[in-house]
Structure 1
Amino acid sequence: MKKCIVLLIAVSMMTLGLTATAADKLVIKSSDVHGDGYPTVEAIKYMGELLDTWTNGRITIQVFGSMQLGGEKEALEQVQVGALEMTRVSVGVVGPIVDEFNAFNLPYVFRSSQHMYNVTDGEIGTELLQKLEKGGLIGLGYMDAGSRSFYNSVRPIKSIDDLDGLKIRVMQNPIFVEMVNAMGGNGIPVAFNELYTAMQTGVVDGAENNPPTVIHQKHYEVAKYYTLTEHLMVPEIFVFSKKVWDTLSETDQLLIRKAAALTVPKERELWKAMVDKALNELSEMGYNVIKEIDKEPFIKATEPVRVEFGSKYLDLIKRIQAVEG
């Protein structure tokens, strides 16, 4: 497989009449708030391995995880001015640059993981990445950050009626408060570092997040019911500094884009493996995990939220919903 990839790139460069023999060595510094073992970090390492192999060590990637270079906002600012070559960020961080990315934060904008992939891999995703250039960024691709689902200590959520009256911790954003309220629950903003204690003391009955987070934060100790409502699927993106990009040869730009294209499915593969592992661990602990649920009532209940907070993006949302998947 790797030989085929190398051959493909060689043919592409020959077609363009390009040569990399005289190019300078390039060390791409990349930042991530997560540490070793996390899918986004390991995926960027994989991208580095591809570039290293294809260029005989001329292009490499040095990953700085665990917020060594600051949080997402700080890293993005460094990329914009060319002090850092690359970073992986949540779409919310680039919302001020390309407003349409905020549409991804709305509940049930994506019907499934495959639907999200079809959107981000297609025309819509490409258009949004291209718009990042006005902010000094080259969008290389999207990464899977999983889906958020409900977990609580009171009762299993088998239908939307089971959410009635439950106090659910949400991120400190009015969209998410109204989302839970629209489903019949009571959305309560709580700082993430206070969530365990809030569930332990009954300030909230539960929360919403992905399965690996329940494991890593030991929330299974204070909540025993998990239902895959998958009400939020918000992709993440990895971006390159346009200031640095413009100094690169077309050959190197081509190589980086090809490596990025192969990194996207690799990260998805790593993410799925981590989620499957977390769900299995929860089941083995005796955790009540409900994987199948009728989502249509949840989707219908949150329509007013999409209309209220997505009024600026209605055309985009219609295009997203028209994509198959």
Structure 2
Amino acid sequence: MRTVNSKTRNYIIAALLLVFIVCVPSIASARPLRMYAPDPEDSFKTQGLIDATKEIKKLTNGKVDIKVYPGGQLGGYEESVEEVRQGTIELSATWLTKRWDPRLDLLNLPYYAPLGYKQLAKVAFSANSPLPKKIDSILNELGLVSLGPWPESYATLIFAKGKRPEKFTGFENKKRSIRVPAMPLYRDTYVAMGYQTVTMDVSELWSAMQTGQVDGASGQPLENVYLLGKDIVKHVDANRSVCPPMWLMINKDIWKSFSKEEQKIVRDTFNKHSLKTLQIMDQKDKEYAQLLKKAGIEVAEYPDQHFVEFGAHIRKVVWPKYYNVFGKDFLKNLDKMVVETSKSTK
């Protein structure tokens, strides 16, 4: 019986190790990359993500294969940020909060797109805007790669029957209490409008309005008002005060494993579909506004000039309070862009 000498054995072991090193990345890359998504599968926002990932797979000849997991299947929306950073999951489309960095709260700034989704595309979805550049920089500091924003609807103010303020416009004391998220920017924004704010979890919102614990609430898009609250809500102020988009991010090591061409395809494709989804969202808002009106619910809407003037006042009152958090120069540059895009969007 022939025996293998130590030298030959070492060659065999080295060859096996080489095969292992070469094959393991191939095996890993064969598994679809997992992407966290908070909305249900039938949401047009989720469908936009799915359409984008299908196109990415096609354009990269299957080399970048991303599977979207909707409905929060992969965990909580805040936790998904850390999961991507650690590499437990590869991508996420989620809402950014100050839990990871106080500066991420800047997405909740009021009135950086008072003229609607066309202006929002210029301010939040354009690579030339200071806002996405700032978020990209912050996420990079956190060890993540930013892939840009993903659309979210404008928030509204809603009120129960008999709880409508005398008027929605103006900045005097409205003598009405509204539920707001536990975020200083929301409180400061609606206090500047003349409301008393009450912080509570969104899960308590509808019952609090029914029992009269609060007169109204902020933060609900028109779709939610119609689908979840049309039996409670009687008045809607579609004031375009806040519209914080979700954000797309990917694990840094996964990103580095892509070629330059693949990276460009991923960025460009997500951006293209985000703008397409933004257009759908604009149309959906108009449809739900009409449905609410048909249901006998007041939906207060305004001409462009009102939004320009009202938004300018709120920015002047609220934004300077956050110079120390977000940076005075940054906020002044962003305000300048809001003013410029307001002129070109009309």
TM-score band, normalised by shorter chain: 0.7 to 0.9
Instruction: Name the counterpart of 2:118.
Output: 114
Instruction: Name the counterpart of 1:275.
Output: 285
Instruction: Name the counterpart of 1:309.
Output: 322
Instruction: Name the counterpart of 2:211.
Output: 201
Instruction: Name the counterpart of 2:12.
Output: none
Instruction: Name the counterpart of 1:134.
Output: 141
Instruction: Name the counterpart of 1:249.
Output: 259
1:183 shift after superposition: 1.6
Once structures 1 and 2 are overlaid, which stretch shifts more, 240-249 or 159-168?
159-168
Q: Indicate yes or no: 2:160 matched with 1:165.
A: no
Deviation sequence 1:7-49 (CA, Å, 0-9, x none): xxxxxxxxxxxxxxxxx64622110111112233111101112
Equivalent residue pairs, number: 300
Deviation sequence 1:222-270 (CA, Å, 0-9, x none): 1211121111121221111112111223332232122222222122123
Question: 1:166 and 1:45 mapped to 2: Cα distance?
Answer: 42
1:77 corresponds, among 66, 72, 82, to 82
State the AA in 1 paired with 2:322. Answer: F
Structure 1 residues 131, 183: CA separation in 2 closer, same or farther (over 3 Å shift)?
closer
State the AA in 2 paired with 1:222. Answer: I
SS of residue in 2 equivalent to 1:266:
helix
Instruction: Name the counterpart of 2:336.
Output: 322
Say if 2:78 and 2:95, in contact at 8 Å, map to a contact too.
Answer: no
- Which runs of no fewer than 5 residues in structure 2 stay unpaired? 1-28, 342-346
Structure 1 residues 135, 255: CA separation in 2 closer, same or farther (over 3 Å shift)?
same
Say if 1:30 and 1:62, in contact at 8 Å, map to a contact too.
Answer: yes
Question: 2:173 and 2:293 mapped to 1: Cα distance?
Answer: 22
Say if 2:121 and 2:275, in contact at 8 Å, map to a contact too.
Answer: no
Structure 1 residues 162, 38: CA separation in 2 closer, same or farther (over 3 Å shift)?
farther
- Which runs of no fewer than 5 residues in structure 1 stay unpaired? 1-23
Question: 2:129 and 2:310 mapped to 1: Cα distance?
Answer: 29
Instruction: Name the counterpart of 1:5.
Output: none
1:286 shift after superposition: 1.4
- Percentage of pairs with the same residue: 20
1:167 shift after superposition: 1.0
Deviation sequence 1:290-322 (CA, Å, 0-9, x none): 111634346425633322234433211111111
SS of residue in 2 equivalent to 1:233:
coil
1:215 shift after superposition: 2.0
Instruction: Name the counterpart of 1:6.
Output: none
State the AA in 1 paired with 2:135. Answer: L
Q: Indicate yes or no: 2:41 matched with 1:36.
A: yes
State the AA in 2 paired with 1:76. Answer: V
* TM-score normalised per structure 2: 0.79
Say if 1:170 and 1:176, in contact at 8 Å, map to a contact too.
Answer: yes
1:205 shift after superposition: 0.9
State the AA in 2 paired with 1:148. Answer: A
The structure having more radius of gyration, on CA atoms, is 2
Once structures 1 and 2 are overlaid, which stretch shifts more, 79-88 or 288-297?
288-297
SS of residue in 2 equivalent to 1:224:
strand
Instruction: Name the counterpart of 1:189.
Output: 199
* TM-score normalised per structure 1: 0.83
1:73 shift after superposition: 1.8
Say if 1:226 and 1:288, in contact at 8 Å, map to a contact too.
Answer: yes
